[in-house]
Amino acid sequence: MAALTFDSLRHDRRTAIAAAVGIGIVLAVFPFIVGTTLGNSWLRILDFALLYIMLALGLNIVVGFAGLLDMGYIAFYAVGAYLYALLASPHFGLHLPVWAIIPLGAVLAGIAGALLGAPTLRLRGDYLAIVTLGFGEIVRIFMNNLNAPINITNGPQGISSIDPIHLGGITLAKPLTVAGITVPSLHAYYYLFLALALLIIFVSLRLEDSRIGRAWVAIREDEIAAKACGINTRNIKLLAFTMGASFGGVAGGLFAGFQGFVSPESFNLMESVMVLCMVVLGGMGHIPGVILGGVMLTILPEFFRHSAGPMQLAVFGKIILDPEALRMLLFGLALVAVMLYRPAGLWPSTIRRREFRNGSTADVLKEGE
């Protein structure tokens, strides 16, 4: 039901407030429900889902709003993660506080985004895809190899013993006791991630409705026309890259603190592809859709992991197909099936859905080539 009313919420104050309070309560008690019924592993998955939501929202700005196909997005996540790892671990002996590192990570990733964006401004479509993919690989390969001649990233060994996230005197790595209630570490991370995810959602929503947001959409729909309307397409595109990247930087920093270990293999091409899948599968350019995509693609493989084996046992009485291979197989099938039956994504925006039904966007695209 919430799905249908989301867009109307913006126009009705009272329902909006009621909905916000309701959702707030659900989100607040959610980890306790999950933790007790399904176990902490699902809570950890939930934490990762929140990180991926941040990533997907960041990429959504680039791909969904501005229509620039970025296949190397994970590089910004890597920048954020490595920054945290370098500034808060025994590697350089630095232990800066988290409130300094995370914003710095956002800024640095943003700069990286602008640097990537600058040379690619003239490229479009598939050419842009391959160049951004190349940038993603370049960042990963440099991180993998910058241990000689000067050891910066510690190369393939990665950086371990990273400080857990701590705010003031409180560290999130140990159970917290607040006002007599003990909050386990995973729950504490959940609340922190949730807070930042909500912040990113808020920023995304505001951006979408802003002048800039409309400029992005204009560029996505027709760059020439946008230019003719007086939009500075170069700056606006760079801004999309910068904003999107900075979200990735934030998520990366949180990842490093949460995981306590970063190594280049966490930032390979498959990760970029997964985040892109989240955006497209959920519904490009539609924030609730993207959030749904992020949650789904984090949870789906885990769901298959938990069910592929037992399901076979239940149906056939023994395990016929290797559950791990089956898990990925089902995941692939799910990707194909969703796209076949909902090509605009699981939860596309109403405008897009309308356009798609008339086939107008698709036809325009077709003829443009």
Partner 1 sequence: MQDSRISTLTLAVFAALAVVGCSQKEEPKPQAAAPAAPAAAPAAPAAPAPAPEVVVKLGHVAPLTGPQAHLGKDNENAARMAVEELNAKGLEIGGAKVKLELVPEDDQADPKQGTIVAQKLVDAKVNGVVGHLNSGTTIPASKIYSDAGIPQISGSATNPKYTQQGFATTFRVMANDVQQGKVLGEYAARQLAGKNVAIIDDRTAYGQGLADEFEKGATAVGAKIATREFTTDKATDFAAILTKIKSKKVDVIFYGGMDAQGGPMTKQMKSLGIKAKFLTGDGGCTPEYIKLAGDASEGQYCSLPGVPLDQMPGGKAFNDAFSAKYGQIQLYAPYVYDAVMVMVDSMKRANSVEPAKYLPEIGKTDYQGVTAKIQFDEKGDLKGGAISLYQVKDGKWEYRETIGGAPAAPADAPKAEGEQKK
Partner 2 sequence: MDIFIQQIINGLVLGSIYALVALGYTMVYGIMGLINFAHGEVVMIGAMVALFVIKALPGLPAIVLVPLALVCAAIVCMTIGFAIERIAYRPLRRAPKLAPLITAIGVSIILQNLAMLIWGRNYHAFPPILPSGEHDVFGATITSLQIVIIVVAGLMMGGLTLLIRRTRLGRAMRATSENPPIAQLMGVNINQIISATFVIGSALAAVAGLMVSANYSIAHYYMGFMLGLKAFTAAVLGGIGNLAGAMLGGLLLGVIESLGAGYIGDLTGGFLGSHYQDIFAFFVLIGVLIFRPSGLIGERVAERA
CB-wise, 266 or 349, nearer to partner 1?
Answer: 266
Distance CA 169, CA 161 (A): 19
For the chain, give percent helix, strand, coil, nearest 5.
75, 5, 20
Out of partner 1, partner 2, none, what residue 103 binds, judged by CB under 5 to 8 A for its kind, is: none
Q: Shortest approach of partner 1 to residue 173 CB, angstroms?
A: 8
Cβ–Cβ < 8 Å for 263, 156: yes
> In the set 113, 158, 285, 345, which binds partner 1 (CB under 8 A)?
158
Q: Shortest approach of partner 1 to residue 264 CB, angstroms?
A: 9
Specify the stretch interacting with partner 1 by CB under 8 A; choose among 21-29, 209-217, 218-226, 316-324.
Answer: 316-324
Cβ–Cβ < 8 Å for 287, 60: yes
Out of partner 2, partner 1, none, what residue 166 binds, judged by CB under 5 to 8 A for its kind, is: none
Letters for 202-241 (x = contact with partner 1 by CB under 8 A, - = none) are: ----------------------------------------
> In the set 24, 119, 125, 156, which binds partner 1 (CB under 8 A)?
156
> In the set 166, 214, 227, 305, which binds partner 1 (CB under 8 A)?
305
Among candidate residues 93, 87, 84, 91, the one with its CA nearest the CA of residue 160: 91
Q: Which residues of 150-171 are buried (b: 16+ CB within 10 A; e: fewer)?
A: eebbbbeebbeebbbbbeeeee
Q: Which of residues 40-59 bind partner 1 (CB under 8 A)?
A: 40-41, 43-45, 48
Cβ–Cβ < 8 Å for 50, 223: no
Among candidate residues 352, 119, 362, 129, the one with its CA nearest the CA of residue 238: 119
Q: Shortest approach of partner 2 to residue 1 CB, angstroms?
A: 26
266 binds partner 1 (CB under 8 A): yes
Distance CA 46, CA 103 (A): 23
Out of partner 1, partner 2, none, what residue 7 binds, judged by CB under 5 to 8 A for its kind, is: none
DSSP tag of 62: I
Query: Would you call 298 exposed, middle or buried from its count of C-beta atoms within 10 A (0-12, 13-18, 19+)?
Result: buried
Distance CA 203, CA 186 (A): 25
Distance CA 248, CA 81 (A): 9
- Report residue 134 as tokens: 């190349």
CB-wise, 195 or 225, nearer to partner 2?
Answer: 225
By the criterion CB under 8 A, which residues form the site for partner 2? 63, 67, 69, 119, 122-127, 129-131, 133-135, 137-138, 141, 144-145, 149, 219-225, 269, 273, 276-277, 280-281, 284, 321-322, 325-326, 328-329, 331-336, 338-340, 343-344, 356, 359, 361-363, 365-366, 368-369
Cβ–Cβ < 8 Å for 208, 66: no
Among candidate residues 238, 272, 237, the one with its CA nearest the CA of residue 252: 272
322 binds partner 1 (CB under 8 A): yes
Binding site for partner 1 (CB under 8 A): 39-41, 43-45, 48, 144-145, 147, 155-158, 160-161, 185-186, 259-263, 265-266, 302, 305, 309, 313, 318-322, 324-325, 327-328, 340
